[in-house]
Structure 1
Amino acid sequence: MGLESVRINDKYETYNDPSVDHYSSQHHLNRRRKVNPLSTTTANTLNSHHYYCGSHITASNLSNGNDFPNASNYSYLWKVCKERGVLFEDPYFAASNKALFGKKESSNSHKIFSSVVWMRPFQLVSRPKYITEYNPNRRFDVEFGDGSALLSSNQPLFHATSILYSVPKLFDRVINPLQNLNPNNYAGIWKFRFWKFGQWIDIVIDDRLPTYKGRLLFMQCLDGSEFWAALLEKAYAKLYGSYDYYLKHCFTAQTTQDLTGGIAQSFTIASHERHIIHQMIASAVPRSTLLSVCINTSDANSPNKSYRLRNGLRNVCCKGEWNGAWSERSLEWDHLSERDREELTIRCRTDGEFWISFDDLLNNFTNLDLIHIGPDDWMQEISLHHKRPWRAVLARRKWKKGFNAGGSPSHKETFHTNPQFHVHIPKSGPNKLHVVVSVTQLYETNTELQDYSLQSIGFCVFEVPPNTIRLSHAFVSNNAPLDITDFTTTRESVTFFTLPAGDFIIVPSTDKPNQETKFLLRLFTDESTNIWEVNDDNIIFALDSQIPKIVESIAQPALLRQIFIRYGPLDYVNVVPQSYCAFVNYHNHQSPRVAIAALYGQTVTGVSNGFRPLVFR
């Protein structure tokens, strides 16, 4: 099918695109399964309870002999549990050592792990709470337990959650604060949301938590009666197959992406020149980007520490305070005027925030992480409105063997067959445009469920003459790329850079030809630009509108249909007002090219419900 994506207000649709194949980590739960009767001797059963007595429900006994429905269907499971007066037990992430270590169930012989007891919140405290009063301006009152430190000095979820905690709307999307432990609603089942390959997926768990001598073993709230942090970590461990796997193989930027859906970048400070780090921070701070620095150590007795960069530094999750230059009572403040001192003090009043010099930042921290937040989330998150929003374009595509999997630029005979995306930066705009380019390949989080290998991926940027339609074999043979990333076997390849006015073509590719996999391309820019795809099957249309204007209906599908049907038979027109875009699917391959040639740069009136006309880019 010929597909073009009609983009409005530089927004992108990531949830309900009917023209793409969605992928979920819950796909393994969709297979139809035979029912196994519920064992009457379930380990760690709840023999007495404030509200229930001894009854439990698992996925294997919900359907009375019929095949069990999707185990990620939270509403269905909760309803059945409430109707039967039982507590949920998750058969896909059972309360056992396999949840701790995956297939390597006995890989850690420490006495703590040989004495784990799985307990529900009501078994640990008499009056448990899911989450108490939420205040993003206070310090992050969470700690990791003895089991976390024994498995790894790296605590990716702990640090990522401390960053997420400062952006309330994004935090609520992940943890769903409307969940609670009220006995009228309680069924022992919980739901959390994580971002995976361009869409949000639900992870459903029970609330049996690993404990040792009556204490939670992993991440936990300082208030012992509050359980959102421990439950969030169990859901995240399920996403990756086990506590052991996520603690040892995930890293902070990746986990922050799983929690926010942003584009993640991580830099080792010592590996970059001073001016590069300064340029990165100076470019990111005024834009819709979350920044954090951390101190990574391999010493389990000296755990990693994480700080969020805002006006100054904010110690979001660690005990102790900075006592060097520009600390609260340092001599450097005496050299400022009263006015400057007052202004800086006002900007850094939140608990845990402090100022630090750039040189001390470089000397005391090991890693810098950037999480670029897309315009949809910027619009929802009030705490980010003092920053400039990114404009965004998204495309889901696939490298196909013998068709468009041309390999890296070193393969000059086939490289030009790769998917290509044209970026036009008008001369009437600013002198330079900040651009974030991300190529994410299809990946599997729980590798124990599916043997899934990543390809070596990257992308390059060519500067081209204005009238260039596609990179040809001759052009690639005679012109070097303006920029090229390293080709690495990672799930995402990202670059944050600036471009002058002109025309550029971005080419995502695998390292070697004929390697097949799906990929997700995301382009963030800080100014309005013209971006379109120049492949035979898929053409991107953009409708120019202004952030952050919100309209309930950007255009009627019937009116858009009248415009596009002139250029060929249509399969459908699907308007997605909440994301300011529409998807138009033609019946043949030729029509998208004809439509883009006819409509590019044209203004169409009468279809925007009283708002500004639609301008096709």
Structure 2
Amino acid sequence: MANKYLNQDYETLRSQCLMQRKLFCDPSFPATFGSLGFDELGPNSNNTKGVEWKRPGELCSKPQFIISGATRTDVCQGALGDCWLMAAIASLTINKDILARVIYPEQNFTDKYAGIFRFQLWQYGKWEEVVVDDLLPTINGKLLFVNSADQNEFWSALLEKAYAKVNGCYENLSGGHASEAQEDFTGGIAEWFSLNNAPSNLFDIVKKALSRGSLLSTSISVNYVGKERLTQEQLVEKHAYSITDATEVQAKHGQFKLVRLRNPWGHKEWTGAWSDCSKDWSQVSPEVKAKLFHSAEDGEFCTNPQFRVKLDIDSQGDDKCSVLIALMQKGARKAKQTVLPIGFYIYKYKGKQNVLLGCEDLQGSVARSHFSNKREVYQRFDLPLAEYFIIPATFEPNQEASFLLRVFSEK
């Protein structure tokens, strides 16, 4: 049985708000600068200029707590140096039992909604049920901190707020080790291994830990003072990654031990051996690749259809064109199938005539839509006059759907 953090009882507070027909405002963690921070996120900081606290219903028309299950791609780091916490939250999604204990997945924005949510965190030997209101810090209508790839989904942002509450403020989450949060999500003990002095069976330890539902993370330890730096293979030093899988792959030239990592930023991926576009994958059968979900987490589509469009009409008076793009999923209702979360990416065309984009071209999109499990996803963009490729995609890898892509511009 969990304690009531700060003696705040979720059921009592929600009932009071429903009776009074008002939304919960947490007096113990108010929507003020004091909850943001004291220095870099203090009231006089440039980082907090224009901050407004808004509820999810003010940010989108139909907010949801969880869409199609909580996944590691729901955890994209915002303007806060808490990659260690993001890595822990991302690894939390791998174990559904632990996840359900921490976030209470039945919560929603419809049934007896009163602007109050609860989470369960382990704090110094005791489980604490922590309540928060759903007022979240935003700038220009966008979440300032953690966000989901789907703009209607808010479980990760609310969990981050609960964790900020038990630690005093958001700024107190800047800098740390993923193991700290992983202990607070499980009540377990964190074990640490240095690759400079690791046991010979470390890979087996990792595999067994993952199979038993343990939460794993890793980072590159360096001694310099300053900001994070990229390695030649695009790994980020002093940055926390969650470990999401470990497996052995049989290839043409032997057996390889692979570990899959997740970057909380949602971009900047490993480009060395066995990376998404590596030629090493040519040694592996299609069946093995499918089993391993060989695909970029933030969108790698050498196999997805590519649609080339040319914007050459200046509709804005600034060498830009307003374009409306709509992606519609076909036949799901008729076939009694689940509507998959879909969306699309836009890449600037820099290649040769009649040649599709390759792996090296897909490292960074110029724009992207939100992903949603609706029949149609649409979004308007103001893009510089140029040629582009539009690449539709499902949110999760290795899913297929029939679709209709429509593009409307001034021409």
Give the alignment partner of residue 130 of structure 1, picking from 60, 65, 69.
65
Q: 1:108 to 1:316 in 2, by over 3 A?
A: same
SS in 1 for 2:97: helix
Aligned 8 A contact 2:276 2:295 in 1: no
What is the RMSD of the two structures over their aligned residues, measured on CA atoms?
3.0
User: Which position in structure 2 is the counterpart of 1:349?
Assistant: 293
Give the alignment partner of residue 97 of structure 2, picking from 164, 169, 173.
169
Shift of 1:125: 1.6
Q: 1:322 to 1:224 in 2, by over 3 A?
A: same
Shift of 1:196: 2.1
Indicate the structure whose relative CO is greater, using CA pairs within 8 Å and at least 6 residues apart: 1
User: Which position in structure 2 is the counterpart of 1:98?
Assistant: 34
What TM-score, normalized to structure 2?
Answer: 0.58
Shift of 1:175: 1.2
Shift of 1:321: 4.3
Is 1:286 the counterpart of 2:208? The answer is yes
User: Which position in structure 2 is the counterpart of 1:242?
Assistant: 169
Aligned 8 A contact 2:84 2:241 in 1: no
User: Following the alignment from structure 2 to structure 1, what is the Cα–Cα distance between the partners of residues 50 and 290?
Assistant: 50
Aligned 8 A contact 1:296 1:305 in 2: no
Shift of 1:115: 2.6
SS in 2 for 1:89: coil
User: Following the alignment from structure 2 to structure 1, what is the Cα–Cα distance between the partners of residues 221 and 24?
Assistant: 38
Q: 1:234 to 1:296 in 2, by over 3 A?
A: farther
Which digits, 9 at most, give the CA deviation of each residue in 1:334-379, with x for residues without a partner?
6x6x7xx5775465226458xxxxxxxxxxxxxxxxxxxxxxxxxx
Matched length: 271
Which digits, 9 at most, give the CA deviation of each residue in 1:414-466, with x for residues without a partner?
xxxxxxxxxxxxxxxxxxxxxxxxxxxxxxxxxxxxxxxxxxxxxxxxxxxxx
Q: 1:266 to 1:98 in 2, by over 3 A?
A: farther
User: Which position in structure 1 is the counterpart of 2:185?
Assistant: 259
Q: 1:281 to 1:93 in 2, by over 3 A?
A: same
Is 1:178 the counterpart of 2:113? The answer is no
SS in 1 for 2:164: helix
Shift of 1:286: 2.2
User: Following the alignment from structure 2 to structure 1, what is the Cα–Cα distance between the partners of residues 143 and 221?
Assistant: 24
User: Which position in structure 2 is the counterpart of 1:313?
Assistant: 259
Shift of 1:236: 0.5
Aligned 8 A contact 2:276 2:294 in 1: no
What aligned pairs does 1:61-460 form with structure 2 within 5 A after superposition?
70=7, 72-101=8-37, 107=42, 109-134=44-69, 136=71, 140-146=73-79, 148=80, 152=81, 154-182=82-110, 184-248=111-175, 250-269=176-195, 272-273=196-197, 276-287=198-209, 288=212, 289-295=214-220, 298-299=226-227, 304-308=239-243, 309-311=245-247, 312-317=258-263, 318-327=266-275, 330=278, 332=280, 344-345=288-289, 347-349=291-293, 351-352=295-296
User: Following the alignment from structure 1 to structure 2, what is the Cα–Cα distance between the partners of residues 188 and 174?
Assistant: 18
User: Following the alignment from structure 1 to structure 2, what is the Cα–Cα distance between the partners of residues 92 and 109?
Assistant: 22
Aligned 8 A contact 1:315 1:352 in 2: no
Aligned 8 A contact 1:88 1:187 in 2: yes
User: Following the alignment from structure 1 to structure 2, what is the Cα–Cα distance between the partners of residues 245 and 210?
Assistant: 15
Shift of 1:240: 0.7
- Structure 1 counterpart of 2:83, which letter? Q
Aligned 8 A contact 2:78 2:146 in 1: yes
- Structure 2 counterpart of 1:128, which letter? P
What aligned pairs does 1:478-489 form with structure 2 within 5 A after superposition?
none
Q: 1:342 to 1:117 in 2, by over 3 A?
A: closer
Which range is displaced more, 321-330 or 223-232?
321-330
User: Which position in structure 2 is the counterpart of 1:60?
Assistant: none
User: Which position in structure 2 is the counterpart of 1:506?
Assistant: none
Aligned 8 A contact 1:100 1:242 in 2: yes
Shift of 1:237: 0.1
SS in 2 for 1:76: helix
Aligned 8 A contact 1:179 1:190 in 2: yes
Aligned 8 A contact 1:192 1:202 in 2: yes
What TM-score, normalized to structure 1?
Answer: 0.40
Q: Please tell me whether Structure 1 or Structure 2 has the larger radius of gyration of its CA atoms.
A: 1
User: Following the alignment from structure 2 to structure 1, what is the Cα–Cα distance between the partners of residues 108 and 19?
Assistant: 18
Shift of 1:98: 1.0
SS in 2 for 1:190: strand
Structure 2 runs not aligned, ≥5 long: 231-235, 248-257, 298-411
- Structure 1 counterpart of 2:262, which letter? V
Which digits, 9 at most, give the CA deviation of each residue in 1:454-500, with x for residues without a partner?
xxxxxxxxxxxxxxxxxxxxxxxxxxxxxxxxxxxxxxxxxxxxxxx
Aligned 8 A contact 1:219 1:230 in 2: yes
What aligned pairs does 1:497-516 form with structure 2 within 5 A after superposition?
none
Aligned 8 A contact 2:92 2:215 in 1: no
Q: 1:173 to 1:251 in 2, by over 3 A?
A: same
User: Following the alignment from structure 2 to structure 1, what is the Cα–Cα distance between the partners of residues 201 and 49?
Assistant: 50
User: Following the alignment from structure 1 to structure 2, what is the Cα–Cα distance between the partners of residues 234 and 205?
Assistant: 7
Structure 1 runs not aligned, ≥5 long: 1-14, 17-23, 30-69, 354-617
Q: 1:118 to 1:301 in 2, by over 3 A?
A: farther
